[in-house]
Amino acid sequence: MQINFEHNQSAHCESGTASNLLRFHGLILSEPMIFGIGSGLFFGHFPFLKVNGIPGTTYRIFPGLIFSRTCKQLGIKMKEQTFRSETKAMEELDRILEKGMPVGLLTSVYYLPYLPAALRFHFNAHNIVVYGKKDGKYLVSDPVMETVTEIAPEDLQRARFAKGALAPNGKMYYPIFVPKEINLKRSIVAGIRRTAVDMTAIPVPLIGVRGIRFLAKKIAGYPKKLSERKSSLYLGNIVRMQEEIGTGGAGFRFIYAAFLQESSSILKQDWLMDISKEVTETGDKWRDFAYDAARICKDRATSGESYEKLSSMMLDCADREENIFTKLKKITL
């Protein structure tokens, strides 16, 4: 059994899955549009949340929120289920597929055999769509892959029931109500405002522009505080999160610029086009940071000077983003 499902590759798994699933239900929204309406852009550095002893950094909002915010804004109703029993989870998946509906699944990247080994870390919040079953294998539309692929039931089951942080517990979801008419303009404005608040107005020093400055200061102190090896591991992780699965080397800044560009013509507000350009420029600055940081990691350079330079590059990004989102906060219909 196979559902006629259109697969489009995307830069980010969550917004891509949402875009592909909603298109099946007749709502055509681009990936950047969903990323923007769902307020996907973010920054956070959490020194106390360590993975393998390395502090966590994120350039986008927490997993699952892009999707739930988009649905809320657009009035889409989703059915979401998690399971205790692995067998029941697979039966329920089959039952919905039998009805002719593609299903979104939360999986661990580590247990998806079709991905290249180098990308398979224990990351439990990867989104894929399963759109049918053929010769005992599930047909998969994984938004980071160029084309559709397939997976054996036992592998899928394992990936759906990976354990640890953000354990998916077999989570599956599909739209049960998609409105014919949506208020796109209002949703865009609400999405932008929320990102502007996330980035500039949350009084927690680890988040948004303040988070970027916080991390910049930490980086300047790495060579003094950490061993040579630790410094480059910490720094490498910051860059890795920035680059994580197809973000154009700019921690999702380019997707956001694409969103602002699209919004500019939908809302007929030309100034958003200028802001989009500014976001692109900032994205390029983040890329420069990634480039220099990766060099330092590779050479295991420990001179305080190079870390100082990285720190000031990041502070520059913070200033730019503060400026951008202070302007965007004032957006109206």
Partner 1 sequence: MEKDKVPQQDSNILEGKVKMLKYAVDENGNYTKVPSVGWEPETIVLSLAWDEIHEKIDAVRKRVLANEISPIAYFMEKEMLDIPLLSQYVGYFSFQVKRHLKPSIFKKLSRKQLEKYAKAFQITKEQLLDISLDNK
Site size for partner 1 (CB under 8 A):
49
Instruction: Check if the beta carbon of residue 317 is closer than 8 Å to that of residue 215.
Output: no
CB of 93 to partner 1, least distance (A): 22
Nearest alpha carbon to residue 257 among 6, 2, 11: 11
CB of 291 to partner 1, least distance (A): 5
Burial of 159 (0-12, 13-18, 19+ CB in 10 A): buried
Long-range contacts of 267-275 (CB under 8 A, 24+ apart): 267/185, 267/188, 267/189, 267/333, 269/331, 272/331, 275/324, 275/327, 275/328
The DSSP H or E segment spanning 333 is none
Question: In Å, what is the CA distance from 141 to each residue of 170, 172, 301?
Answer: 17, 14, 42
Rounded Cα distance, 144 and 123, in Å: 14
Q: In the complex with partner 1, which residue's Cβ is closer, 78 or 109?
A: 109
The neighbour count for residue 194, using CB atoms within 10 Å, is: 18
CB of 297 to partner 1, least distance (A): 6
Q: Applying CB under 8 A, does 27 fall inside the site for partner 1?
A: no
Task: Determine which residue in the list 4, 26, 116, 180 makes contact with partner 1, applying CB under 8 A.
Answer: 116
Task: Determine which residue in the list 5, 7, 10, 106 makes contact with partner 1, applying CB under 8 A.
Answer: 10
CB of 202 to partner 1, least distance (A): 26
Task: Determine which residue in the list 117, 180, 270, 330 makes contact with partner 1, applying CB under 8 A.
Answer: 117
Touching partner 1, residues 258-317 (CB under 8 A): 258, 261-262, 277, 280, 283-284, 287, 290-291, 293-295, 297-298
Q: Applying CB under 8 A, does 144 fall inside the site for partner 1?
A: yes
CB of 130 to partner 1, least distance (A): 19
The neighbour count for residue 18, using CB atoms within 10 Å, is: 33
Residues of this chain that bind partner 1 (CB under 8 A): 9-11, 32, 52, 110, 114-119, 121-122, 144-146, 163-164, 232-233, 236-237, 239-240, 243, 245-246, 248-250, 254-255, 257-258, 261-262, 277, 280, 283-284, 287, 290-291, 293-295, 297-298
